[in-house]
Each structure stands twice: as C-alpha cells, then as structure tokens.
Amino acid sequence: MTQNFINQEVADFNVNAYQNGDLKQVTKQDILGKWSVFFFYPADFTFVCPTELGDLADHYAEFQNANTEIYSVSEDSEFVHKAWAEATDTIAKIQYPMLADPAGKLARFFDVLDEEAGQAYRAVFIVDPEGKIQSYTINNMGIGRNAEEILRTLEAAQFVAEHGDQVCPANWHPGEETITPSLDLVGKL
C-alpha cells in the first residue's frame, strides 16, 4: 500500500554527508527555513545516477536562487561519495550536500528503499521551509529524471505557497499566467 506524503512533516534525522571536499553532518534543523529537494538515487559509481546528479549540479545556482538546497541521498557512505567525487569529473562539480544513508533511515522514512537491493528508488521530495512535503515523484531504478522539471515543480510549489488563492496550470513557469479557481471557470478551461 502506497503512503501519501503530501503535507507530512519530515522526521528528525541526523546523517553524515560529503560536500565540497568536506565531511559534515546534516540534520532536520538544517532544512528548516528554506525549501529543500531530497533527491534519492540507487548508488554511487553507477550509470544513470551521475547523469542525474550532474544535471542537478548544472542547475544548482537556479535552485539556490529559489532559496532551495538540494540533498542527494543514496545508501552509500560519505566516504564513498568523497571517493566518487575524486574519481569522476561529473561528480567533482557537485556543490550540494551528498547525504549518506547506509542504514536506510531516510530511505525508509520516505518509503523509497528497495529492501532486497539495499538501494533507494529514484525519488524526489520537495519540502517547504516548515519541513513539510509539498511534492514527490518516485521512479523505478532505470528511469532518470530532469533537473529543469524538478525546478519547475519547485517554483510552482513556492508560488502556490505564497499565493494560496491561485493555482499553476500544466507547464507553468514563473511569470506566466496562473488560475484563480472559481465556479465561473468550470467547463471553460
């Protein structure tokens, strides 16, 4: 049975991470006060994962301009993240924190751990500054994701959070027209 995560608050956590050549800890307290993207992927030193993480790295400044931190998460340790960054140019350019979840605590909370494989499915969770999940997608292992669509979804979530009386139509981007729900629009869109 699938769990609905919308508006669920992220549980307390404390994990090790690798970021820009340093090892650090990341806690729930670190995600509060700004938007967060939890980007789960199966494993370091694989095939689809570096293409996705590199895509996010290429768009990192745009996420930061949107007051958002990206947290990539796999079941690898922070030491494996460091070794991967030192071995691979694509991963070396990553500036966001790479969270280590070898015990699977985050993956289990977000219900994305494939217990048999010991790996997380490809999942994206967009979390608001209060620590509540506003959007999520979960893909099977072989289905890569697109940073631009994650950013677009984030920006729509931010707009709706700020303008609760308006909603964002399909393919909406900042600056484009939104919709103010009303009975007058029923059957006319």
Cα distance between residue 128 and residue 125, in whole Å: 10
The DSSP symbol for 69 reads: E
CA–chain centroid gap for 112, Å, is 13
Q: Is position 49 annotated as part of the catalytic site? A: yes
Given the residues 26, 49, 112, 120, the one annotated as active site: 49
- What DSSP state is assigned to residue 3? P
- How far apart CA 86 and CA 92 sit, in angstroms, is 6
Helix axes of 48-58 and 147-162: crossing angle, nearest 10 degrees: 50
**DSSP string covering 95-146, please?**
-S-EEE-TT-HHHHHTT-EETTTTEE-EEEEEE-TTSBEEEEEEE-TT----
Catalytic residues: 49
